[in-house]
Structure 1
Amino acid sequence: MPVANLLEQLSVSAASQGAERIFLRLQQDDDVISSARLSGFFPLMQETLYRGGPLSEESGQGSLFDADARLRKKEKPDEYGLFRLHNIATPAEVRILSGMTFDQWASSHEQSAGRYDERVFDGKGTIRGWLGTARRSSVGNLATMLHPDDESVIEDIVIAGLRRLSNTKTVFCVVPEYQFALSRTLEQQNFRPEGEFITLVKSTAKTVRESNLARSALASREPM
């Protein structure tokens, strides 16, 4: 079966279960991209997968931010504050295409396998930054998000994350194309690009309408 048809079946199945959007992450040179575009997926953003190593717990940190003192464990009430931070830190065109409400955003979190830890720091009455780390066996994953006005502490945040992954051998970090400061900081820590990816998105609204029309057409043909 052609890939475009499989993706269309996926869309119908997802829509029937209440999904409003489908996100698809593929390598930049994947042949599936053209089929995805034909079946209604639109490019959302490009991402780079970086690979590097951890830092020891004794490693020094930057001078601008006391990560050990400022970073605290993320709690359930922080979710809405993180959603607000996401909206501030994400370019408008990406937000418009993804079009997620708070509930949709909260349910779409990607959580790495293994031991997962989330930290946040506050300032001016709001959450200003987030750090996520995960480790499974000897592999670690790092992710972070900062308020644009606080990007000066990105080095301190990255170092704090790499220190938390000190018992791993390899660390990966997926960086959206608009997080320039994060890319630069990782490269300063001897991380190197491992792969280029593109995330595509499709709204299932049209799929639902077409499916409903098809069912209506079939029903009208049934004998009374």
Structure 2
Amino acid sequence: MIRTSRPADVIRYGVFGGPAPGNRAYPLASVGTGPSPAMSKREVMSAAASLRSNGTHSLTLAHGRYVPAIVAARPRVTVRAWEMTQLLVDSPEAATCHEVFGILFREIAHRGGERLFLRLREDDPLVRIAASCGFTKYGEETLLAGPKVSFPGVSTESVREVKPVDEHDLFRLYNASTPSRARFALGMTADQWRAAREPVGWRSREYIYRQDDAAQGWAQVIRKGRSAILTLMSHPNADNSVPALVTHAMSRSWGVGNWYVLAGDHQVRLQALMGQRGHWEVARYVTMARAITSPVTVAEARRAVRIRGLNPAVDLSERYQSSTREKSYAARNS
């Protein structure tokens, strides 16, 4: 039986049927943890609390008292893009995932979702199972760990905190620095990119590197107690952006003892520079996405009104309905 999850399901998952593995999905703020072969009490409490998070939708596969699978997803920035936050699977059978994923896809579609994102460890057997469920791999990432570093002689005068007016320039930087396969999954338009940005909460800082009146680099720091995760984007032609952003971001993060740097496989320069400063590889991840056909989106397409003569064409119906869905979602969860 598949039903909406309850917090007690996590306890049943971790107790009945023997020790069960921990969460196998890795939202951005969770990289650097696990994998746990058996859930600890702290992990059980954390997972149970996350199922009640605002906007999270979760499903439980139950066979009597035994719970072999729990999945949970939440919207990223808007309801158009979702991410998997909990993937508790105690059964290696692909049929278990197919059954639960299929219902989760339909539930997200009825809520206006268009894409679902998932990050897994590269060596997890669920990568193959997720692919058989329609997920497509669009990126590979390396997690590096090490101490605080700096690059003497590199000026950080061009680095400052991100402001709302920088959004358009950051979108242009994203287009210039991100491989086409990833852009196709994350979004080709500014609205799609904005909807798919990973939420990290209030414990984060963003920095921008500007040169020649344009954004040449971007960095984000996510605090996790005495640890922090650093992610970056850099223009291919801006050689100084990476050392400047790393130096500035780490120098502004007081009290951090352990640093993690998440670098895509296309970010060769970032990986090389951090390796020279004593950082080492601790994990590898794959990022996957699945397109979801929403009944709402299909209905909108039939009523779409396009204004020609503008470049690009403007779909007024899509924008109006998307705005309506997002306002309704915000009202329900306020």
Calculate the TM-score normalised by the size of structure 2: 0.56
1:103 maps to 2:191: yes
Match of 2:112 in 1: 18
Q: CA RMSD in A?
A: 2.2
1:9-158 paired onto structure 2 within 5 Å: 9-55=103-149, 61-63=151-153, 65-67=154-156, 69-113=157-201, 115-158=203-246
Among residues 270, 274, 286, which one is paired with 1:186 in the alignment? Answer: 274
Write out per-residue CA displacement over residues 165-220 of structure 1, whole angstroms, 9 at most, x where no aligned residue.
Answer: 34211111211111111111111121111111111111112x659x99xxxxxxxx
CA distance in 2, matches of 1:164, 1:23: 31
1:154-165 paired onto structure 2 within 5 Å: 154-165=242-253
CA distance in 2, matches of 1:103, 1:97: 13
Q: Judging changes above 3 Å, is the alpha-carbon distance between structure 1 residues 117 and 42 closer, same or farther for their aligned structure 2 residues? A: same
Listed as ranges, the gaps of 5+ residues in structure 1 are 213-224
Match of 2:283 in 1: 195
Listed as ranges, the gaps of 5+ residues in structure 2 are 1-60, 62-95, 300-334
Secondary structure in 2 aligned to 1:7?
A: helix
- Does structure 2 conserve the Cα–Cα contact (< 8 Å) formed by 1:54 and 1:165? no
Identical pairs, percent? 25
Q: Which has the higher helix share?
A: 1
Q: Judging changes above 3 Å, is the alpha-carbon distance between structure 1 residues 195 and 208 closer, same or farther for their aligned structure 2 residues? A: farther
Calculate the TM-score normalised by the size of structure 1: 0.82
CA distance in 2, matches of 1:98, 1:153: 23
CA distance in 2, matches of 1:141, 1:17: 31
Q: Judging changes above 3 Å, is the alpha-carbon distance between structure 1 residues 33 and 136 closer, same or farther for their aligned structure 2 residues? A: closer
1:158-177 paired onto structure 2 within 5 Å: 158-177=246-265
Q: What amino acid does structure 1 have at the position aligned with 2:104?
A: L
